[in-house]
Amino acid sequence: MPMNPYVIETENLSLYYGRKPALNSLSLQIPRGGIHALIGANGAGKSSLFRVLLGFETPIAGRARILGQDCSALTPELRARIGFVNEEHTLPDWMRVDELTRLQRSNVAWNQESFEEVVRNFNVQPQQKISQLSRGERAGVSLALALGQRPELLILDEPTLGLDMVAKRTLLESLMYSSAAQETTIIYCSHQMEEIERIADHLIIMELGRLRYMSEPDELCQRVRLWAADMAGNQADLHRLPGLLEIQQIDGVTQLMMMDAPADFETHLGSMGARHISNSAVGLNRAVDSLLASGHISRRAAGNFNQSGSHHA
């Protein structure tokens, strides 16, 4: 059977908690391979998406497939091909690390070598009790258990929350290794841009339960540029510029963060009375920040969010 090119596919997926939409007609295709960073403001729907994908929540509309199978009817065989690590690193506290390993071994196509490698990196002893592990060590065991399954797909929901620098780096390195050496497709949800910058091959930005943007990090950095100009009081029409993400006044200079500015943008600004026009590249952190901020701006301006022109997939 030919391999499905997508690990995740959703079509007009909607999930409500009471009257509140957590996912709002979300359509998304995540291709197989690499590390995909899932980004979005608090409440954007990232964890809700994971809950639907793993079969913990039932959507009110739309479809969701994971590794080609409908998420509402995941078989144990399919679940064994998926690893999931969340910020709580939920583990059975009453067990020792080696007891937990034995239990896992009997359940799935276990790879002891992958498990031990990660556990060793986190300095965890097999005889240690889970309840006595530090937060970083718990994260390590939790990741090692997921990687020991050699999952085809590994989903991580803010796994580095509360970890120190060394534990964070160890976890990220284990992920990069698994992605490269074991061909595990990784979906990584985090608010830490420096982590995303380090490991992500692909960005998925969600906003209000919808897809806001998808591309490789480099593409986003090429499409977003910071323009600066002396507008000499001609501000009125700037807010209507297509592709405007953010506008700021700094020391009398107008700064415009633009996405996909047209080739004649400088001339256009000139015709609006701008002088001393310049533009520069921005880093990934700043580009993502502006995209997220632009959602807030358009919502404030419109009273609610209008998606037209905001999806640059």
Ligand X SMILES: Nc1ncnc2c1ncn2[C@@H]1O[C@H](COP(=O)(O)OP(=O)(O)OP(=O)(O)O)[C@@H](O)[C@H]1O
Which residues of the shown chain bind ligand X in the complex (CB under 6 A)? 17, 20, 22, 40, 42-48
Residue with tokens 């990220």: 172
Q: Could you tell me the smallest distance in angstroms from the CB atom of residue 21 to ligand X? A: 8
CB-nearer residue toward ligand X: 45 or 243: 45
Residue with tokens 């420096």: 194
CB-nearer residue toward ligand X: 48 or 178: 48
Amino acid identity for residue 60 in this structure: I
Rounded Cα–Cα distance for residues 29 and 9 (Å): 5
CB-nearer residue toward ligand X: 44 or 274: 44
CB-nearer residue toward ligand X: 163 or 277: 163
Closest among 9, 1, 44, 27 to 209, alpha carbons compared: 44
Rounded Cα–Cα distance for residues 144 and 21 (Å): 34
Rounded Cα–Cα distance for residues 134 and 127 (Å): 14
Q: Could you tell me the smallest distance in angstroms from the CB atom of residue 52 to ligand X? A: 10
Which tokens go with 181? 């050496």
Rounded Cα–Cα distance for residues 158 and 109 (Å): 26
CB-nearer residue toward ligand X: 46 or 202: 46
Q: Could you tell me the smallest distance in angstroms from the CB atom of residue 145 to ligand X? A: 22
CB-nearer residue toward ligand X: 21 or 148: 21
Q: Is the dihedral of CA 117, 118, 124, 126 positive or negative?
A: negative
Q: Is the dihedral of CA 307, 31, 2, 174 positive or negative?
A: negative
Cβ contact 238:224 at 8 Å: no
Cβ contact 139:68 at 8 Å: no
Q: Could you tell me the smallest distance in angstroms from the CB atom of residue 28 to ligand X? A: 14
Q: Label residue 137 exposed, middle or buried (CB < 10 Å: 0-12, 13-18, 19+).
A: buried
Q: Could you tell me the smallest distance in angstroms from the CB atom of residue 57 to ligand X? A: 9
Q: Could you tell me the smallest distance in angstroms from the CB atom of residue 59 to ligand X? A: 13
Q: Could you tell me the smallest distance in angstroms from the CB atom of residue 124 to ligand X? A: 27
CB-nearer residue toward ligand X: 41 or 247: 41
Q: Could you tell me the smallest distance in angstroms from the CB atom of residue 47 to ligand X? A: 3
CB-nearer residue toward ligand X: 231 or 292: 292
Cβ contact 97:127 at 8 Å: yes
Which tokens go with 155? 């989903």
DSSP 110: -
